[in-house]
Amino acid sequence: SQQGEEDPQALSIQEGENATMNCSYKTSINNLQWYRQNSGRGLVHLILIRSNEREKHSGRLRVTLDTSKKSSSLLITASRAADTASYFCATAMFSGGYNKLIFGAGTRLAVHP
């Protein structure tokens, strides 16, 4: 089963609005990462938040982590049409001596001009 679950599955907003995506996970983590994927393309790493961090910022991105609730959120402020993409959270599961990065189901964001 997937380590991370995201909601909403799809989000449609107007340019200039904020977009919030949530991710829940099941097991203890060392860090949680967010990736972005434009349609039919590879994933691009956005931000990594460590388990001992509660909030992190990068440009228009704000990520929070609540380890007690096993959840994270990604906020994109002042959205642009170019932010239209799928956003995935990813957590590392330690298995067989390795940390395997497992992706959540993703949120498809559409930003309309």
Task: Return residues touching other proteins (CB under 8 A).
Answer: 2, 30-31, 33, 35, 40-45, 48, 50, 88, 92, 94, 96-106, 108
Structure tokens at 84: 């239209």
Q: How far is the CB of 72 from other proteins (least distance, A)?
A: 15
What gap in Å lies between CA 96 and CA 82, rounded to an integer? 39
Q: How far is the CB of 31 from other proteins (least distance, A)?
A: 6
Q: How far is the CB of 11 from other proteins (least distance, A)?
A: 14
CA triplet 64, 66, 71: central angle to 5 degrees? 85
Judge whether 33 and 90 are in contact, CB under 8 Å: yes
Q: Which is nearer to other proteins, 96 or 113 (CB)?
A: 96
Three-state SS for 12? Answer: strand
Q: How far is the CB of 65 from other proteins (least distance, A)?
A: 14
Q: Which is nearer to other proteins, 52 or 113 (CB)?
A: 52
User: Do β-strands 71-76 and 85-95 pair in parallel, antiparallel, or remain unpaired?
Assistant: unpaired
Q: Which is nearer to other proteins, 92 or 110 (CB)?
A: 92
